[in-house]
Amino acid sequence: MMIMVRTIINVLPEKQKEVLLTLLSLIELPEKEKGCLSYGIFADIEDENVFNLISEWQTRHHLDRHIRSDRFSVLLGIKSLLSEPLKIQIVTISGSEGIEAVNTVRKRS
C-alpha cells in the first residue's frame, strides 16, 4: 500500500516568488526523509498563483512522521502568504497499474 498526498496552494499574487522559494527548499533531498518515494511541485497551467505539492509515501507511519516534522511545519507556516487555506488530500493506494493496462484496454477497442 502507498499513500499519496496532494496539497493545493493558492498564493497571493504578490507573494508567489516567496512561496515558490519556500516550496523549493522543501523538496531538496526528500529522499533523505525515510519512507518518502517522491516529492514534487507542480504549477497550475490555468492559474500561475496555484501550486500543487504532491508526495508519495511508503506507509501511513512514514507520512505521519513527516506531518510531525519541521519540514511540514514550514509548509503550514506559509498560511499568511496564501489567498485561501491549504487544501490537503491524503489518498491511500492499494494497487497501481502502468502502461501495460493502457495498452490492454486500447487493444480491446
| CB contact at 8 A, 78 and 57 | no
What residues does 5 pair with on adjacent strands? 55, 90
Contact 21, 105 (CB under 8 A): no
**Partners of 93 in the beta sheet?**
2
- Domains for the chain: give ranges and CATH numbers: 2-108 (3.30.70.100)
pLDDT in tens, 37-72: 988 999 999 999 999 999 999 999 999 999 999 889
- Please report the pLDDT score of residue 58 as a whole number: 94
Record the pTM.
0.84
Average pLDDT, the chain: 91
Question: 43 in helix, strand or coil?
Answer: strand
Q: How far is CA 9 from the centre of its chain?
A: 10
